[in-house]
């Protein structure tokens, strides 16, 4: 088996194994992809501050996110169509997260349903909700997440309207894939993926098919979902969802200090500073650059998490040092899943844990919870002097 040294190795393997349509779906941002690129390059512009002659024994990456113990403060982000990167992908990712001791977040737009994932795991996972116009569907989804014993609701606020990804249009993205000539030629070289897919029945949007009105057949599903996102989402609707859910609530997709203040006033358990991995507002500032001002605005009132651009344990360290209490990875674990299923997700998590542990030690820190701004060298003007 190939030696995996870093997330980039898993990405190469994912590209080779999964159909082009699904690899591209993962590896893309909206429009010019400027924000998608900035998310990673801005992490790279931060430097770690080396410290020597410090006792490095007894290190710990353990922490808590929304009061839940975690082996490291890195959750798996909600990712739509995970079950198209590898057969039964959501179940595999959830099992890997459970074994590792980090939270798994199931997307509304998953292939395996919330009931499927609950049936194949033993501990509660988190559920991500997109707010749709069809209130009956939303209410039903909340009830199903409760019945599946999900321990947090992650409400995504930055996708009420879809940012365009050129590659998805050109590739004719769909689940399951439509067998056009280019798709068939591509699948002919992806037989490992295809054989696994033939063995599973889970090939469409499991949370939606059979539960939402007017989508009995899967071919109408893509158009149903893009028409269904509710452009009227506002704080009033969020309050209705909070009251209906009644449990831990995480608001995902905050990228502005004023919005963060509203979220803190609202009384959620955490916010996720995120630009959806550069898939929505192209031209928005990277999440890591926005993090310090948001932590300064609300860090004493609400738990601040972040995602978008994390590809290593060093990146996790940087986010924590700038004040995040927790982080999420999206593509980093999807590469692992697409490369080698559940084992690939485990390897992605292990790569990140080891990088975090070693980098922390070389920064002279034993405890992940003690990371702070002094562990970094931040270029002057990093946050940007925007008018
Ligand atoms: C292929 C893909 C699908 C995604 N689907 C969802 C989704 O269904 N719901 C959601 O809230 N976020 C979704 N996201 C955004 C992720 O939750 C997360 O914010 C993002 O991946 C973080 O950036 P990173 O991939 O650079 O780590 C998706 C991201 C990717 C890459």
Sign of CA dihedral 267, 253, 158, 114: negative
Q: Supply the pLDDT for residue 227.
A: 83
State the average pLDDT over residues 50-56.
Answer: 95
CA–centroid distance, 79 to ligand 1, in Å, is 5
Residue 12 — pLDDT band, cuts 50, 70, 90? very high
Give the mutation target among 29, 76, 80, 348 for probing the ligand 1 site: most ligand atoms within 8 A of CB. 80
How much of the chain exceeds pLDDT 90, in percent?
A: 89
Q: Tens digit of pLDDT for each residue in 121-137? A: 999 999 999 999 999 99
Token pair for residue 68? 């839940």
Give the mutation target among 10, 167, 276, 316 for probing the ligand 1 site: most ligand atoms within 8 A of CB. 276
Q: Supply the pLDDT for residue 167.
A: 94
pLDDT at residue 217 tops 80: no
Atom of ligand 1 nearest to the CA of 331: 25
The residue nearest atom 27 of ligand 1, judged by CA position, is: 330
How much of the chain exceeds pLDDT 70, in percent?
A: 99
pLDDT at residue 218 tops 70: no
Residue 216 — pLDDT band, cuts 50, 70, 90? low
State the average pLDDT over residues 292-313.
Answer: 98
Q: Average pLDDT, whole number, for the chain?
A: 95
Where in the sequence numbering do the catalytic residues fall?
A: 276
Give the binding-site residues of ligand 1, using a 6 Å CB cut-off.
Answer: 25-26, 39, 77-80, 107, 109, 128, 156, 252, 274, 276-277, 279, 307-310, 329-332
CA–centroid distance, 274 to ligand 1, in Å, is 9
Question: Strand pairing partners for 328?
Answer: 75
Q: Tens digit of pLDDT for each residue in 158-214? A: 998 999 999 999 999 988 888 999 999 998 899 999 999 999 999 999 999 888 887
Task: Give the Cα separation of 17 and 113 in Å (integer).
Answer: 24
Residue 219 — pLDDT band, cuts 50, 70, 90? low
CA–centroid distance, 279 to ligand 1, in Å, is 8
Task: Give the Cα separation of 72 and 326 in Å (integer).
Answer: 9
Task: Give the Cα separation of 253 and 273 in Å (integer).
Answer: 6
Q: Tens digit of pLDDT for each residue in 58-104? A: 999 999 999 999 999 999 999 999 999 999 999 999 999 999 999 99
Q: Supply the pLDDT for residue 220.
A: 65
Atom of ligand 1 nearest to the CA of 309: 26
Token pair for residue 262? 């509203």
Rg (CA), the chain: 20
CA–centroid distance, 361 to ligand 1, in Å, is 30
Residue 225 — pLDDT band, cuts 50, 70, 90? confident
CA–centroid distance, 343 to ligand 1, in Å, is 21
Atom of ligand 1 nearest to the CA of 158: 11
């Amino acid at each position: 088996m190939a030696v995996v040294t870093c997330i980039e190795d898993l990405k190469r393997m994912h590209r080779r194994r999964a159909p082009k349509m699904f690899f591209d779906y993962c590896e893309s941002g909206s429009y010019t992809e400027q924000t998608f690129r900035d998310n990673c390059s801005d992490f790279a512009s931060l430097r770690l501050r080396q410290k020597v002659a410090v006792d490095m024994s007894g290190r710990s990456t353990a922490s808590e996110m929304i009061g839940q113990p975690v082996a490291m403060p890195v959750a798996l982000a909600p990712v739509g169509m995970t079950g198209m990167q590898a057969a039964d992908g959501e179940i595999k990712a959830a099992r890997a997260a459970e074994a590792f001791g980090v939270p798994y977040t199931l997307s509304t737009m998953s292939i395996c349903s919330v009931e499927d994932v609950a049936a194949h795991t033993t501990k509660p996972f988190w559920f991500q909700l997109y707010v749709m116009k069809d209130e009956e569907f939303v209410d039903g989804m909340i009830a199903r997440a409760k019945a599946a014993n999900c321990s947090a609701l992650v409400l995504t606020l930055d996708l009420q309207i879809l940012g365009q990804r050129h590659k998805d249009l050109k590739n004719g993205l769909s689940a399951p894939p439509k067998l056009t000539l280019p798709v068939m030629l591509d699948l002919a070289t992806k037989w490992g993926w295809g054989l696994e897919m033939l063995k599973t029945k889970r090939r469409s949007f499991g949370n939606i098919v059979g539960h939402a009105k007017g989508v009995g057949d899967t071919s109408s599903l893509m158009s149903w979902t893009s028409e269904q996102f509710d452009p009227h989402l506002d704080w009033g609707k969020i309050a209705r969802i909070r009251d209906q859910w009644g449990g831990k609530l995480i608001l995902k997709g905050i990228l502005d200090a004023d919005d963060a203040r509203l979220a803190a006033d609202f009384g959620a358990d955490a916010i996720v500073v995120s630009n959806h991995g550069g898939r929505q507002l192209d031209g928005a500032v990277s999440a890591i650059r926005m993090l310090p001002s948001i932590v300064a605005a609300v860090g004493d009132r609400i738990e601040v998490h972040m995602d978008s651009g994390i590809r290593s344990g060093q990146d996790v360290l940087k986010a924590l040092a700038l004040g995040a209490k927790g982080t999420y990875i999206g593509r980093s674990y999807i590469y692992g899943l697409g490369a080698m299923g559940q084992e690939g997700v485990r390897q992605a998590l292990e790569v990140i844990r080891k990088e975090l542990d070693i980098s922390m030690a070389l920064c002279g820190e034993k405890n992940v919870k003690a990371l702070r701004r002094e562990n970094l060298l931040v270029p002057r003007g990093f946050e940007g002097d925007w008018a």
